[in-house]
Protein backbone atom coordinates (compact mmCIF):
# COMPACT_ATOMS: atom_id res chain seq x y z
CA UNK A 1 0.00 0.00 0.00
CA UNK A 2 0.99 3.63 -0.31
CA UNK A 3 2.94 5.06 2.63
CA UNK A 4 0.57 7.03 4.85
CA UNK A 5 1.59 9.91 7.09
CA UNK A 6 0.83 9.90 10.80
CA UNK A 7 -1.71 12.69 10.22
CA UNK A 8 -3.42 10.70 7.48
CA UNK A 9 -3.71 7.71 9.76
CA UNK A 10 -5.01 9.74 12.68
CA UNK A 11 -7.49 11.55 10.45
CA UNK A 12 -8.84 8.40 8.83
CA UNK A 13 -10.94 6.92 11.65
CA UNK A 14 -14.63 6.77 10.84
CA UNK A 15 -16.01 5.03 13.92
CA UNK A 16 -13.97 6.52 16.77
CA UNK A 17 -15.19 8.81 19.53
CA UNK A 18 -13.21 11.91 20.51
CA UNK A 19 -11.77 10.29 23.66
CA UNK A 20 -10.79 7.21 21.67
CA UNK A 21 -8.97 9.36 19.12
CA UNK A 22 -7.21 11.36 21.80
CA UNK A 23 -5.65 8.32 23.37
CA UNK A 24 -4.88 6.58 20.09
CA UNK A 25 -1.22 5.66 19.84
CA UNK A 26 0.40 4.76 16.56
CA UNK A 27 2.29 1.47 16.63
CA UNK A 28 5.83 1.79 17.97
CA UNK A 29 7.17 0.57 14.62
CA UNK A 30 5.22 3.16 12.59
CA UNK A 31 8.28 5.07 11.38
CA UNK A 32 9.85 1.81 10.17
CA UNK A 33 6.73 0.50 8.44
CA UNK A 34 7.52 -1.47 5.28
CA UNK A 35 4.51 -0.22 3.34
CA UNK A 36 5.32 -2.36 0.28
CA UNK A 37 4.58 -5.48 2.31
CA UNK A 38 1.22 -4.24 3.66
CA UNK A 39 -2.32 -4.20 2.33
CA UNK A 40 -3.55 -2.46 5.45
CA UNK A 41 -1.95 -0.96 8.52
CA UNK A 42 -3.11 -2.90 11.56
CA UNK A 43 -2.10 -3.01 15.21
CA UNK A 44 -3.36 -3.81 18.66
CA UNK A 45 -3.30 -0.97 21.19
CA UNK A 46 -0.23 -1.57 23.38
CA UNK A 47 -2.06 -0.37 26.49
CA UNK A 48 -5.47 -1.86 25.70
CA UNK A 49 -5.25 -5.43 24.38
CA UNK A 50 -8.97 -5.38 23.64
CA UNK A 51 -8.62 -2.56 21.12
CA UNK A 52 -7.31 -2.91 17.58
CA UNK A 53 -6.88 -0.51 14.68
CA UNK A 54 -7.10 -1.15 10.96
CA UNK A 55 -6.36 1.50 8.31
CA UNK A 56 -6.40 1.01 4.56
CA UNK A 57 -6.63 2.91 1.34
CA UNK A 58 -9.91 2.09 -0.40
CA UNK A 59 -11.81 3.23 -3.47
CA UNK A 60 -13.63 5.59 -1.07
CA UNK A 61 -10.50 7.09 0.48
CA UNK A 62 -8.23 6.24 3.39
CA UNK A 63 -10.43 4.62 6.02
CA UNK A 64 -9.48 3.66 9.57
CA UNK A 65 -11.59 1.76 12.07
CA UNK A 66 -11.36 0.87 15.72
CA UNK A 67 -12.01 -2.78 16.49
CA UNK A 68 -13.06 -4.44 19.71
CA UNK A 69 -11.24 -7.69 20.44
CA UNK A 70 -12.82 -10.33 22.67
CA UNK A 71 -12.00 -10.35 26.37
CA UNK A 72 -12.36 -14.10 26.68
CA UNK A 73 -10.36 -15.89 24.06
CA UNK A 74 -11.19 -19.44 23.08
CA UNK A 75 -8.47 -22.05 23.42
CA UNK A 76 -7.68 -25.13 21.44
CA UNK A 77 -9.95 -24.43 18.52
CA UNK A 78 -8.89 -23.60 15.02
CA UNK A 79 -9.96 -20.28 13.61
CA UNK A 80 -9.79 -18.97 10.08
CA UNK A 81 -9.08 -15.32 9.30
CA UNK A 82 -11.88 -14.12 7.04
CA UNK A 83 -9.67 -11.46 5.46
CA UNK A 84 -6.57 -13.44 4.41
CA UNK A 85 -7.77 -17.03 4.93
CA UNK A 86 -4.86 -17.98 7.16
CA UNK A 87 -5.74 -20.76 9.56
CA UNK A 88 -4.65 -20.35 13.17
CA UNK A 89 -4.89 -22.38 16.33
CA UNK A 90 -7.45 -21.04 18.83
CA UNK A 91 -6.34 -17.54 19.66
CA UNK A 92 -4.52 -16.68 16.44
CA UNK A 93 -7.64 -15.32 14.78
CA UNK A 94 -10.26 -13.47 16.77
CA UNK A 95 -13.77 -12.19 16.19
CA UNK A 96 -13.20 -8.44 15.95
CA UNK A 97 -16.15 -6.10 16.08
CA UNK A 98 -16.40 -2.57 14.72
CA UNK A 99 -18.99 -0.02 15.69
CA UNK A 100 -20.51 1.29 12.50
CA UNK A 101 -19.94 4.89 11.50
CA UNK A 102 -22.54 7.59 12.06
CA UNK A 103 -26.08 7.10 13.24
CA UNK A 104 -25.96 3.29 13.05
CA UNK A 105 -23.02 3.26 15.44
CA UNK A 106 -24.89 5.43 17.92
CA UNK A 107 -27.59 2.76 17.87
CA UNK A 108 -24.96 0.18 18.83
CA UNK A 109 -24.99 -1.27 15.36
CA UNK A 110 -21.82 -3.27 14.76
CA UNK A 111 -20.18 -5.52 12.21
CA UNK A 112 -17.67 -8.21 13.00
CA UNK A 113 -15.42 -10.73 11.36
CA UNK A 114 -12.57 -13.08 12.23
CA UNK A 115 -9.18 -11.42 11.69
CA UNK A 116 -5.60 -12.51 12.45
CA UNK A 117 -5.16 -11.57 16.13
CA UNK A 118 -2.04 -9.48 15.41
CA UNK A 119 -3.66 -7.78 12.40
CA UNK A 120 -0.76 -8.92 10.25
CA UNK A 121 -2.65 -10.63 7.40
CA UNK A 122 -0.29 -9.15 4.80
CA UNK A 123 2.75 -10.74 6.43
CA UNK A 124 1.16 -14.20 6.58
CA UNK A 125 0.18 -14.00 2.93
CA UNK A 126 3.70 -13.08 1.89
CA UNK A 127 5.35 -15.72 4.05
CA UNK A 128 6.96 -13.02 6.24
CA UNK A 129 5.26 -14.38 9.35
CA UNK A 130 4.15 -17.93 10.03
CA UNK A 131 1.04 -19.10 11.79
CA UNK A 132 2.52 -21.50 14.33
CA UNK A 133 0.34 -24.58 14.42
CA UNK A 134 -1.77 -23.28 11.55
CA UNK A 135 -1.08 -22.30 8.00
CA UNK A 136 -2.66 -21.66 4.69
CA UNK A 137 -5.81 -23.22 3.43
CA UNK A 138 -4.94 -25.63 0.65
CA UNK A 139 -5.76 -23.74 -2.52
CA UNK A 140 -4.33 -23.08 -5.94
CA UNK A 141 -4.37 -19.26 -5.97
CA UNK A 142 -0.95 -17.66 -6.35
CA UNK A 143 0.30 -14.93 -4.04
CA UNK A 144 -0.88 -12.05 -6.25
CA UNK A 145 -4.39 -13.46 -6.34
CA UNK A 146 -4.40 -14.01 -2.58
CA UNK A 147 -3.26 -10.42 -2.04
CA UNK A 148 -6.04 -9.17 -4.30
CA UNK A 149 -8.55 -11.22 -2.35
CA UNK A 150 -7.26 -9.80 0.93
CA UNK A 151 -7.57 -6.24 -0.39
CA UNK A 152 -11.11 -6.93 -1.62
CA UNK A 153 -12.08 -8.45 1.72
CA UNK A 154 -10.62 -5.49 3.64
CA UNK A 155 -12.44 -3.03 1.40
CA UNK A 156 -15.73 -4.92 1.78
CA UNK A 157 -15.39 -4.96 5.55
CA UNK A 158 -14.55 -1.25 5.70
CA UNK A 159 -17.50 -0.51 3.42
CA UNK A 160 -19.80 -2.31 5.85
CA UNK A 161 -18.52 -0.10 8.68
CA UNK A 162 -18.80 3.13 6.68
CA UNK A 163 -22.05 2.49 4.81
CA UNK A 164 -24.23 2.56 7.87
CA UNK A 165 -27.59 2.80 6.22
CA UNK A 166 -27.37 0.21 3.50
CA UNK A 167 -28.94 -3.10 4.49
CA UNK A 168 -26.46 -5.92 4.15
CA UNK A 169 -26.57 -9.58 5.00
CA UNK A 170 -25.10 -10.33 8.42
ZN1 LIG B 1 -5.58 -12.58 8.36
Distance 119 CA to ligand 1 centre (A): 7
How many Å is the maximal CA-CA distance in the chain? 45
Q: What is the pTM of this model?
A: 0.91
CA distances 158 to 53, 90, 101, 143, Å, are 12, 25, 10, 22
* pLDDT for the residue 15: 95
Asked if the model's pLDDT at residue 169 lies above 60, the reply is no
Question: What pLDDT sits at residue 50?
Answer: 95
- Scored b (16 or more CB within 10 A) or e, 69-92 reads beeeeeeeeebbbbbbbbbbebeb
Distance, CA 158 to ligand 1 centroid (Å)? 15
Instruction: Grade residue 146 by pLDDT with cuts at 50, 70 and 90.
Output: very high
* CA 79 to ligand 1 centroid distance, Å: 10
> How many angstroms separate the alpha carbon of residue 81 from the centre of ligand 1?
5
d(CA 43, ligand 1 centre) in Å: 12
124 CA distance to ligand 1 middle (Å):
7
**pLDDT exceeds cutoff 60 at 170:** no
Q: Is the pLDDT of residue 164 over 60?
A: no
Q: How much distance in Å is there from the Cα of 102 to the middle of ligand 1? A: 27
Question: Are 114 and 69 spatial neighbours (Cβ–Cβ below 8 Å)?
Answer: no
Rounded mean pLDDT, 145-150: 96
Distance in Å, CA 148 to ligand 1 centroid: 13
pLDDT at 10: 96
d(CA 59, CA 45): 26
Report whether pLDDT(159) > 60.
yes
Give the model confidence (pLDDT) of 83-136 as tens digits: 999 999 878 999 999 999 988 777 889 999 999 999 999 999 999 999 888 877
CA of 157 to the centre of ligand 1 (A): 13
Q: What are phi and psi of 79, to 5 degrees?
A: -135, 145
Ramachandran bin of 136, using left for φ above 0, alpha for ψ from -120 to 50, beta for the remaining angles: beta
pLDDT of residue 158: 97
| 165 band by pLDDT with thresholds 50, 70 and 90 | low
Residue among 122, 145, 3 at smallest CA distance from 62: 3
* Dist. CA 78 → ligand 1 center (Å): 13
CA of 156 to the centre of ligand 1 (A): 14
The residue that leads in pLDDT, 136 or 155, is: 155
To 10 degrees, the CA torsion angle through 69, 75, 81, 82? -80
pLDDT for 27-85, tens place per residue?
A: 999 999 999 999 999 999 999 999 999 999 999 999 999 999 998 776 767 889 999 99
Amino acid sequence: MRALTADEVRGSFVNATEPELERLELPWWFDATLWDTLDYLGWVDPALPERGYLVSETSFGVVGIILRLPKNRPRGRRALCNLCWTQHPGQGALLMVARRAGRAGLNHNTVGTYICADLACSLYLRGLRRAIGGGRMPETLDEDARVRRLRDNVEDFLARVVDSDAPRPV
